[in-house]
Amino acid sequence: MMGERPSPPARFEPVADGDLRIAEVSFLTQVNLRLDPGDPAAGDIGRALGVPLPTEPGTYGSADVDVLWLGPDEWLIVGEPGRERDLETRLRTAAGTGHVAVTDVSAQRTTLLVAGPKARDLLAHGCALDLHPRVFGPGRCAQTMLARAQVLLVARDGDEFLVLVRPSFAGYLVAWLLDAAAEHLSGQPG
Amino acid sequence: MMLIPCPWCGPRDEAEFHYGGQAHVAYPADPAALSDAEWARYLFFRDNPKGPFAERWSHAAGCRRWFNVVRDTATNEIHAVYRAGGQRPVSP
């Protein structure tokens, strides 16, 4: 479909240690969806996605895509790379003539994967949110600041976190993550 | 730093928010009928109490919603948080 595309933190070497993994998950499909959750189209869109639009703040639902709560009338649908057209069409068909905005924002953020038993500790170095699994366990997401960069944090099963960050901040955030991770990585100079 | 309870996202750091000034400043019903002095008063004149003050905040780094906060300007104590368009709660 497209030639070689450099991802934003292109020169970043993924880190994998027993307790910590940091990698980039590039070019995920992201579609922003805005509508009143009371609109009948909300139900149709939920059925088309295979999961109802989450209305509880800071949660997400999963089918073949993840549906993340961004605001009381705003969601982000995240899917595998290259599914922009398919997702947009699916959403627009389900929306019908409803008062709905569907916008492909795949280029707005890149995604970092921070995983492993030390992932929470690492993120907590730069994030004011309570990341304890009791509060921020699988199924939770939050827009917040990580090391002064605006991010969308997604908690997944097995101590896995997705950190969605603007491309222009990605290089900085990766550098910060690697620096903050030094103490958790064996064989790396602290 | 203040911990501001966003009505949607819960308590968050002050750094995630933008300040929006005094709340409940209604747009004039008939702006064309205002004199320059009245227009200037609407645009530029705001209360400056020492004590509880209803003001607007936007959760800029989170859900990006505007909402209202009653904050004590002397102590930074937050007395109430309510959604944009809501009535200011009667203080006890």
Residue that is last in its domain, among A106, A124, A156: A106
How far is residue A165's CA from residue A171's CA, in Å, rounded to a whole number?
10
- Whether residue B15 lies within 8 A of chain A, CB to CB, comes out as yes
Distances (CA, A) of B3 to A14, B13, B77: 35, 5, 10
Contact B8 A57 (CB under 8 A): yes
CATH number at residue A143: 3.30.1360.120
- Which of B12, B59, B66 is the best mutation test for A, with the most CBs of A within 10 A? B12
pLDDT tens digits, one per residue of A46-88: 999 999 999 999 999 999 999 999 999 999 999 999 999 999 9
Domain membership of residue A74 (yes or no) is: yes
ipTM for this model: 0.87
Tell me how far apart the alpha carbons of residues B85 and B65 are, in angstroms, rounded to a whole number.
12
Residue A62 identity (one-letter amino acid): S
Question: Which pLDDT score, from 0 to 100, does residue A187 have?
Answer: 61
| Residue A57 DSSP SS3 | coil
Task: Flag whether the pTM goes above 0.80.
Answer: yes
pLDDT, residue A190, reads 45
CB contact under 8 A, A71 and B8: yes
Looking at domain B3-83, its CATH superfamily turns out to be Folate-binding superfamily (3.30.2270.10)
Higher per-residue pLDDT: B91 or A100: A100
pLDDT in tens, B21-41: 999 999 999 999 999 999 999
CATH number of the domain residue A83 falls in: 3.30.70.1520
